[in-house]
Amino acid sequence: MKKTLAKVVITVVALFAMLALFGCSSEEPKQEAEMAPEATEAAAPAADNQLEIFSWWAGDEGPALDALIALYKQQNPTVEVINATVTGGSGVNAKAVLKTRMLGGEPPDSFQVHAGQELIGTWVAADRMEDLTPLFQEEGWMGAFPEGLVKLIGTDTGIWSVPVNIHRSNVVWYIPANLEKLGVAAPTTWDEFFAIAPKIKEAGVTPLALATNWTANHLWESVALASLGADNWDALWNGELAFDSPEGVAAWELFGKVLEFTNADASSLSWQQATDMVVDGRAAFNIMGDWAAGYMSTTKGLAPGAGFGWAASPGTTGEFMFLADSFGLPKNTVHRDNALAWLKVLGSKEGSDAFNPLKGSISARTDSDLSKYNDYAKSASADFGTDRIVGSLAHGVTANEGFMNDFASVMEMFLAGKDAQAAAQASQQIAVKNGISK
């Protein structure tokens, strides 16, 4: 009964959030950091022994989360777990629902949030999260995660979430047997891609599969990294390089050229459907985060290496654009103790090594048992140790939700008009508006 009620509440909230989402591009999105303080009423007392976790890991994205929940249930057999998910890659829909719930004073007990500005510049800035330093101390986690990652989940005043993985964003995926048929190899630069793309097209195959708009942001960051280089990529986010500098404009120009070799129906496809195009041989390549490795191995049953291949996206060899999923503890949650027990499972070595081999990511911990991981993950782990690390825009590391919402509109404008100069100028305006550039 309570479960049904919770579902109804979530559905109603989701409907409101979707309305807000559709209205989003026509009105100025509000900066999260400016959100009004939460309602002061105390949360309802816990009438039941539940744990509601909130994420966008639904359907094909679910198996890794299910493994974590199974572990949690083993350790907490009396707790009823409500696995609240809102479908939509990169959290496009879930984040809108979450915002409504947080503003409405109905936070889930724990929610998925990317390490970096999505967490710090959004929810911590709005004072919505509990400091997890005591949990990190109790669990002996102070040295368990890479220093660079800890900086992205912490501030001078606390540690604000528990990271569960490290994903790589700049990866190009292909099927070796399909490339052999086409007589091409995976390109290591965009010039190499432009050299082989016409031949792929002539064979009736899409050179590069693309999906719905957030995947255009995802492709953009790989292309921009190739165009700008790692130093200038970082300089964009610390305000040292303007988005409308000649380098910034060049990144949009290159992106426009790349788009010429993508499928016309992109906006109607999910990221899984774009990956399917590669798997089925309807497209030669796809640039996607390594959750695609999880999808191809866990869902599609393909073996890394023989069944599917990968490389750093063109022009980014030696660079690892990273992101990390984490879960936090919102203030005023109803089932706080159960949420803390959930976070303990998430941050544990056992939890991490149950989750990540299915997810396509590597553990966020420095002591993970690599024997549990497949060849793709082993190669990602090796690269993470040696590559230059930069943060992902599309998945929350470099910019807060205010910028991300605005950037979605800039991307829509570019996809419609392909005007690099205008997109670069608009990017600079939203960077200033959201406190990234001066």
**Residue 338's closest CA among 44, 78, 104, 137?**
78
Residue 61 interacts with ligand GAL (CB under 6 A): yes or no = yes
**Residue 79 Cα distances to 75, 107, 339, 387, angstroms:** 9, 18, 10, 42
Residue 90 interacts with ligand GAL (CB under 6 A): yes or no = yes
Taking the least distance from each CB to ligand GAL, the nearer of 179 and 362 is 362
Residue 118 interacts with ligand GAL (CB under 6 A): yes or no = no
Rounded to whole angstroms, how far apart are CA atoms 9 and 21? Answer: 18
Rounded to whole angstroms, how far apart are CA atoms 12 and 396? Answer: 27
Looking at the DSSP bridge assignments, the partners of residue 172 are: 287, 311
Taking the least distance from each CB to ligand GAL, the nearer of 194 and 384 is 384
Rounded to whole angstroms, how far apart are CA atoms 164 and 55? Answer: 13
* Least gap, CB of 55 to ligand GAL (angstroms): 8
**Residue 376 Cα distances to 186, 303, 307, 373, angstroms:** 16, 9, 11, 8
Residue type, 240: E
Residue 286 interacts with ligand GAL (CB under 6 A): yes or no = no
* Least gap, CB of 411 to ligand GAL (angstroms): 16
Rounded to whole angstroms, how far apart are CA atoms 318 and 286? Answer: 19
Q: Which residue bears the tokens 């990511």? A: 361
Taking the least distance from each CB to ligand GAL, the nearer of 10 and 404 is 404
Stretch that binds ligand GAL, among 42-50, 56-64, 140-148, 150-158 (CB under 6 A): 56-64
Taking the least distance from each CB to ligand GAL, the nearer of 57 and 327 is 57
Locate 216 and state its tokens.
């255009």
Taking the least distance from each CB to ligand GAL, the nearer of 170 and 437 is 170
Taking the least distance from each CB to ligand GAL, the nearer of 166 and 249 is 166
- H or E stretch covering 112: strand 110-114
Residue 221 interacts with ligand GAL (CB under 6 A): yes or no = no
Residue 291 interacts with ligand GAL (CB under 6 A): yes or no = yes
Q: How far is CA 172 from the centre of its chain?
A: 16
Residue type, 256: G
Residue 323 interacts with ligand GAL (CB under 6 A): yes or no = yes
Residue 167 interacts with ligand GAL (CB under 6 A): yes or no = yes
* Least gap, CB of 134 to ligand GAL (angstroms): 26
Q: Which residue bears the tokens 């600079």? A: 428
- Strand runs (DSSP E) across 206-350, as ranges? 206-209, 283-287, 309-312, 319-323, 325-328
Rounded to whole angstroms, how far apart are CA atoms 310 and 75? Answer: 37
Residue 89 interacts with ligand GAL (CB under 6 A): yes or no = yes
Residue 173 interacts with ligand GAL (CB under 6 A): yes or no = no
* Least gap, CB of 71 to ligand GAL (angstroms): 18
* Least gap, CB of 1 to ligand GAL (angstroms): 31
Q: Select from 91, 154, 315, 328 the one that contacts ligand GAL (CB under 6 A).
A: 91
Please give the DSSP secondary-structure letter assigned to residue 299. I
Q: Select from 130, 325, 353, 383 the one that contacts ligand GAL (CB under 6 A).
A: 325
Q: For the CA atoms of 406, 408, 409, 413, what is the dihedral angle to 10 degrees? A: 140
Taking the least distance from each CB to ligand GAL, the nearer of 211 and 343 is 211
Residues 385-404 binding ligand GAL (CB under 6 A) are: 395
* Least gap, CB of 64 to ligand GAL (angstroms): 9
Residue 287 interacts with ligand GAL (CB under 6 A): yes or no = no
* Least gap, CB of 120 to ligand GAL (angstroms): 16
If one counts every other C-beta atom within 10 angstroms of the C-beta of residue 143, the result is 11
Locate 292 and state its tokens.
């695609």
Q: What are phi and psi of 316, to 5 degrees?
A: -125, 20
Q: Which residue is nearest to ligand GAL (CB)?
A: 89
Stretch that binds ligand GAL, among 53-61, 189-197, 312-320, 331-339 (CB under 6 A): 53-61
Rounded to whole angstroms, how far apart are CA atoms 169 and 233? Answer: 14
Taking the least distance from each CB to ligand GAL, the nearer of 91 and 330 is 91
* Least gap, CB of 146 to ligand GAL (angstroms): 17
The residue ranges that bind ligand GAL (CB under 6 A) are 56-57, 61, 89-91, 167, 271, 289, 291, 323, 325, 395
